[in-house]
Amino acid sequence: MVSVLKRVLIGKPIATAEEGHQRLKKRVALPIFASDAMSSTAYATDEILIVLLIQAGAGAVAFDKLVPLAIVVAVLLVIVILSYRQTIHAYPSGGGAYIVSKVNLGPLPSLVAGASLLTDYILTVAVSVAGGVLAMQSAFGFDSSVRVPFGLALIALLTVANLRGLRESGALFAPPTYLYIAMLAILIVVGLYRVYFRDLGPIPVSRLLGDAHDPEEVKELMEGAKTLSLFMLLRAFSSGAVALSGVEAVSNGVQTFRKPESRNAATTLAIMGGVLGTGFLGISLLASKLKPFRGENDATGIALMAEHVFGGKNAPFWIIQFATFGILVLAANTAYAGFPALSSIIARDGYLPRQMSNRGDKLVFSNGILFLAAAAALLIIVFRGNITALIPLYAFGVFTGFTLSQAGMVAHHFREREPRWRLSTAINGLGAVCTGVVALVVVVSKFSKGAWIPAVLIPALVLAFRAVHSHYAKVRASVQVEPGYRAQRHTHTVVILVGSVHRGVLDAVQYARELAPDRLIAVSVVTGPEEQEALAHAWEAYDIPIPVHTILSPYRELSRPVLEYLDELDAEMQDDVMTVIIPEFVTQWKTQWLHNQSAFALKARLLYRPNTVVTSVPVLVAGKHDE
């Protein structure tokens, strides 16, 4: 049943063939790598405003601080992009934070980077999905209770698509990404033109009202004027810093670019940085003029501003909302490629369970995809699909990854001493220090708002990585033997588990006899003397040439009496290997659950019995091949 369901959802297996190594033009690569980073412009400005207006109560001052904060974020963006251009040139085969810190800083930092990145991917899915849902909520005005089911449906859709082997292609990524960039540009240009040359004023407070707010409350918020503490300013900055999430993507995928790969990748990264920085600054500038206020339950700033600038819920408004939804869903999708790939690398290094590195039928790392989906779904449920609640969890992992990656680059430059290594060291050093400070600012300023979660989770993950690694190492060591090791010749006892006498039992007896064991005995659990006699009678009638031992178990218990009997047999002979043969009925999948349940429980217990081999002899039932 599971396998049929799997086929319907996932489709036919893909034959084990080489993955296509198509090289990408810059204009195709840009949307694939930029969607994640660009998508943060959809919510970063709103999140700054929520901190300043609601949490800090700064009122009108909030809008004055928006542009300065955006400029600081943009400067940080420039530093990070310059840093990553170094990484691209140094690691043309792909330089994610995990690999760069593993090569240059050693295992522990690489595990911290790995844990940060995995946490990040999960949050990318949760935050982007929540943002996408909010974009639709802004357009259609549905109730907030729809958020969780809508978000879970999106995650389910992305999960099935990726289990089916969805590839990140230009055809998929280009239209929504370019459309979003274009619409953002139009909104900013038209908006600023109308503000500066047509005297467009702020959005009237009456238009800001969602169901959740009464006019007085909103007015109070907009006019409030508590002094803005440095702490609150830093917290607001931390919200803006999420705009940088995703800029590292290009450095992971250098080898997918056309030759010269590094130069093309570096150029793409620069273009992406330019578009992202301009977009974020532009939106923040426009917001400082139009004063959109989302609150935690209402329309996004972009939706409010689009409606105000374009004069209503007209075509441009709808296009911008759908493009926002589209790019956010794509951003979530990038994590579906990144998370399984990274976890498979970590699993191959022995820090995660080996099954994370197994590819499924579609050559995707199914376990990684399923884990990511489950974790993101959990976040959506716990935080009720509320993006503002999720944001404080987000930036810490991003900037921890940045810091370790750049610190690794500094070590790299010191070691390699390539031409102009001092300049390179200075750039990456600046990057490492800045992003490290930001990571610290984020965790401190948002600790109580949720940043404690990654601050606890990432070290816990690192400990888990090490525990898994040491377990595998211990197992490897414990089964390691020197060449020359010889397994001993054993005494072979074969025990056949018998219910009633049928073809399967006779076949199993024949099979067991051909194994030429030293002792061969059948064993049967009966509930009473009548069953015992019936069995003895059948044994004689069928002339079965091996002895049968019956165990009386009035309540049809199977496992315990059989195990006790095996112990008895074992005690009779030194150096005994016990092979337990269990005939198992094999029927169609839809009736398979009606069989072998007791045998299954017994097998699970026998696995833990020393020197015991379990052999399943299938009893094919007629009709099985009708399937």
Given a contact cutoff of 8 angstroms between Cβ atoms, the answer to whether 93 and 444 are in contact is no
Phi, psi values for residue 362, rounded to 5°: -95, 20
Q: How far is the CB of 578 from its own copies (least distance, A)?
A: 11
Can you tell me which of 93, 206, 448, 478 binds its own copies, judged by CB under 8 A?
478
Can you tell me which of 12, 140, 198, 554 binds its own copies, judged by CB under 8 A?
554
479 binds its own copies (CB under 8 A): yes
* Residue 295 DSSP SS3: coil
587 binds its own copies (CB under 8 A): yes
* Residue 580 DSSP SS3: strand
- Residue count at the site for its own copies (CB under 8 A)? 80
DSSP 596: -
504 binds its own copies (CB under 8 A): yes
Q: How far is the CB of 515 from its own copies (least distance, A)?
A: 5
User: What contacts 24+ positions apart, CB below 8 Å, involve 224-228?
Assistant: 224/53, 224/57, 224/58, 224/59, 225/58, 225/59, 225/60, 225/61, 226/56, 226/57, 226/58, 226/59, 228/52, 228/56, 228/58, 228/61, 228/62, 228/65
Spatial separation of the C-alpha atoms in residues 394 and 122, rounded to whole Å: 9
User: Would you say 299 or 619 has its CB closer to its own copies?
Assistant: 619
Spatial separation of the C-alpha atoms in residues 63 and 58, rounded to whole Å: 9
* 418's tokens: 């390539």
Spatial separation of the C-alpha atoms in residues 536 and 544, rounded to whole Å: 10
268 binds its own copies (CB under 8 A): no
Can you tell me which of 556, 568, 574, 575 binds its own copies, judged by CB under 8 A?
556
575 binds its own copies (CB under 8 A): no
- Residue 174, Cβ neighbours under 10 Å: how many? 16
User: Would you say 419 or 610 has its CB closer to its own copies?
Assistant: 610
Cis check: omega of the bond before 202, within 30 degrees of 0 = no
User: Would you say 349 or 507 has its CB closer to its own copies?
Assistant: 507
User: Would you say 541 or 571 has its CB closer to its own copies?
Assistant: 541
User: Would you say 189 or 613 has its CB closer to its own copies?
Assistant: 613
220 binds its own copies (CB under 8 A): no
- Residue 620, Cβ neighbours under 10 Å: how many? 14
**Is residue 35 classed exposed, middle or buried when 0-12, 13-18 and 19+ CB atoms within 10 A define those classes?**
buried
Candidate ranges 56-64, 155-163, 225-233, 591-599; the one touching its own copies (CB under 8 A): 591-599
Q: How far is the CB of 484 from its own copies (least distance, A)?
A: 8
Please, which of residues 319-378 interact with its own copies by CB under 8 A? 353-355, 357-359, 363
Please, which of residues 608-627 interact with its own copies by CB under 8 A? 608-610, 612-623
130 binds its own copies (CB under 8 A): no
Please, which of residues 237-256 interact with its own copies by CB under 8 A? none
Q: How far is the CB of 503 from its own copies (least distance, A)?
A: 5
Candidate ranges 120-128, 285-293, 331-339, 603-611; the one touching its own copies (CB under 8 A): 603-611
User: Would you say 378 or 475 has its CB closer to its own copies?
Assistant: 475
Candidate ranges 171-179, 181-189, 285-293, 601-609; the one touching its own copies (CB under 8 A): 601-609
Spatial separation of the C-alpha atoms in residues 106 and 627, rounded to whole Å: 54
User: Would you say 259 or 489 has its CB closer to its own copies?
Assistant: 489
Q: How many CA atoms lie within 13 A of 183 on its CB side?
A: 29
Q: How far is the CB of 623 from its own copies (least distance, A)?
A: 7
Can you tell me which of 214, 515, 547, 549 binds its own copies, judged by CB under 8 A?
515
Candidate ranges 91-99, 318-326, 421-429, 553-561; the one touching its own copies (CB under 8 A): 553-561
Candidate ranges 45-53, 155-163, 565-573, 602-610; the one touching its own copies (CB under 8 A): 602-610
460 binds its own copies (CB under 8 A): no
21 binds its own copies (CB under 8 A): no
User: Nearest-CA neighbor of 406 among 72, 88, 73, 32?
Assistant: 88
Spatial separation of the C-alpha atoms in residues 400 and 123, rounded to whole Å: 14
Candidate ranges 47-55, 60-68, 290-298, 499-507; the one touching its own copies (CB under 8 A): 499-507
Phi, psi values for residue 22, rounded to 5°: -65, 135
At CA 342, angle to CA 340 and CA 347, rounded to 5? 90
11 binds its own copies (CB under 8 A): no
Can you tell me which of 178, 553, 563, 569 binds its own copies, judged by CB under 8 A?
553
511 binds its own copies (CB under 8 A): yes
Spatial separation of the C-alpha atoms in residues 406 and 411, rounded to whole Å: 9
Candidate ranges 53-61, 261-269, 301-309, 536-544; the one touching its own copies (CB under 8 A): 536-544
* 211's tokens: 């169901």
Candidate ranges 69-77, 128-136, 226-234, 506-514; the one touching its own copies (CB under 8 A): 506-514
Do the strands 519-526 and 612-620 form a parallel or antiparallel pair, or are they unpaired? unpaired
5 binds its own copies (CB under 8 A): no
Q: How far is the CB of 93 from its own copies (least distance, A)?
A: 16
Given a contact cutoff of 8 angstroms between Cβ atoms, the answer to whether 430 and 227 are in contact is no
Given a contact cutoff of 8 angstroms between Cβ atoms, the answer to whether 92 and 262 are in contact is yes
| Dihedral angle, C-alpha 443, 447, 451, 456, nearest 10 ° | 90
Can you tell me which of 533, 557, 567, 572 binds its own copies, judged by CB under 8 A?
557
Place of tokens 């069995």: 535
